Chain A
């Protein structure tokens, strides 16, 4: 039994609109995640999955309830968390290498060492060395997401939080990035929490899929397809069908 690294317990998050109305983004949400696990949070937009991720990386705090990562709070764990957002949010005034090294720069790592580590991170995400000195606008969407992943990996985090990082990429690029992410994960088994609205993506990547709906976690599905997974194999499509049934039909939900 693997050690549970993340505990989310009865978490609520309420926002106020401009008209002072309360909107509950998360309602009595519970979630656990084991060390080394690849967990996908699956749900349609507005279900609270991004809010959950923001709470986990310390960008936001819950209205009530507790979140513990490795027995401490998210904000004190920031040095151990790599975050990749939907659009990468890379800094356009910096070259690729300096974007990747941002986390190290914030930690006060000397220049020579951080260049070396950033170059290593670029290698790990399979970006050619000559992109290091490009600017972000010179890269394709897929390459930008690789840079964002390299930036998150560069600080050697114990855990990666990814918010629909491949959501806006075309299919071949998305598949290539998914393949590479799984390969990266199988090498060092970092804990990954990956938010997505795509069933196919969740089934391809995850050990376990947690389905979210209107601000709470509703179902927990273990994905037992052997890796490496084939997106067109019968077992894969069967799992995808099961997940879809759970997403759209509440009566199918059982304690799994």
Chain B
């Protein structure tokens, strides 16, 4: 009997993770440092449970904080990167003036900016803005520190900006003229021609930006000064030698990261599906 393509793909894809799991299981046997698969699974299956052996919030809480930080940073990057990218892409000499600077800005790891954003924003958060000295009482709100969110914004802003600008520059002049000949205004040309034409490239930017944001947030949370988030959990687990928590957090980071990637792909597909065929 012939195995359907999808099932074969799934089985082949599972081979390596299963092998690693087996290897891990064998390594954990008789080791005091490597946590057992069961221990890690136990933490993952009870994400709301307070950790008995660890000075960190429950896994679900950490995940929420991390996700919120990324959502705000990444969201702001979309709201700023796309309009500015369109502007840079459509003005004369825009590419020549901005590209060298933006390309340089993109290769710097956003984490490198963290000391500087901490210098600028200190410990301020939406909570300190609204509640002042009582901010510490407002848990999650106080954890949305501007210093961290700015780093996430920087990590995703540059790829979104660069790709949007490239997409806007690459719009075929004949498409714009077709709309012009039909009497389109500048705003109509932006909405009906430039934006949809640049959409595939913009989504490439969103993809890269989201990937960088997700990597950067974990690194930023490991940086001293944060008090919550998945990165913080990993950092604390290392400090207290409770490696089962570090492993559990890493599994969550991988799974949620994959899910975010899939989510962007899901949103992008109906908007950009025409692109690979049109050359």
A binding-site residues for B, Cβ under 8 Å: 57-59, 78-79, 81, 83, 85, 87, 89-94, 102-103, 105-107, 135-137, 151, 155
Contact = CB atoms under 8 A, between A and B. Distances in A.
B277 A137 contact: yes
Contact of A135 (B188, B199, B274): B274
Nearest to B196: A93
Nearest to A102: B182
The 6 A-B pairs of least Cβ separation, nearest first, read A92-B278, A83-B181, A103-B182, A78-B183, A89-B174, A89-B178
A106 B178 CA distance: 12
B197 interface: yes
Contacts of B188: 106
A137 B179 CA distance: 19
B184 interface: yes
Contacts of B55: none
Interface residues of B, number: 23
B177 interface: yes
Given A78-B182, A136-B278, A137-B277, A102 B192 contact: yes
Contacts of A103: 182-183
A216 B178 CA distance: 26
B177 A137 contact: no
Contacts, number: 63
B25 interface: no
A107 B178 CA distance: 14
B277 A81 contact: no
A105 B193 CA distance: 12
A55 to B, nearest CB: 12
B184 A106 contact: yes
B197 A93 contact: yes
B175 interface: yes
Nearest to B279: A137
26 contacts: A57-B181, A78-B182, A79-B183, A81-B181, A83-B182, A85-B177, A85-B178, A91-B175, A92-B275, A92-B278, A93-B275, A102-B178, A102-B182, A102-B192, A103-B182, A103-B183, A106-B179, A106-B183, A106-B184, A106-B185, A106-B188, A107-B183, A136-B278, A137-B277, A151-B182, A155-B182
A137 B178 CA distance: 18
Contacts of A58: 180-181
Given A87-B174, A105-B192, A93 B274 contact: yes
A102 B184 CA distance: 9
A106 B175 contact: no
Interface of B: 172, 174-175, 177-185, 188, 192-193, 196-197, 199, 271, 274-275, 277-278
Given A91-B197, A93-B271, A137-B277, 11 more contacts: A91-B175, A91-B178, A93-B199, A94-B196, A103-B182, A103-B183, A105-B192, A106-B179, A106-B182, A137-B278, A155-B182
A91 B196 contact: yes
A136 B178 CA distance: 15
Contacts of B172: 89
Contacts of A102: 178-179, 182, 192
Contacts of B271: 93
A85 B175 CA distance: 11
Contacts of B182: 78, 83, 102-103, 106, 151, 155
A59 B182 CA distance: 10
A59 B274 contact: no
Q: Identify the interface centre among A83, A92, A103: most chain B CB within 10 Å of its CB.
A: A92
A135 B172 CA distance: 18
Nearest to A58: B181
A44 B31 CA distance: 84
A92 B274 contact: yes
Contact of A89 (B175, B184, B196, B199): B175
A89 B177 contact: yes
Contacts of B274: 92-93, 135, 137
Contacts of A91: 175, 178, 193, 196-197
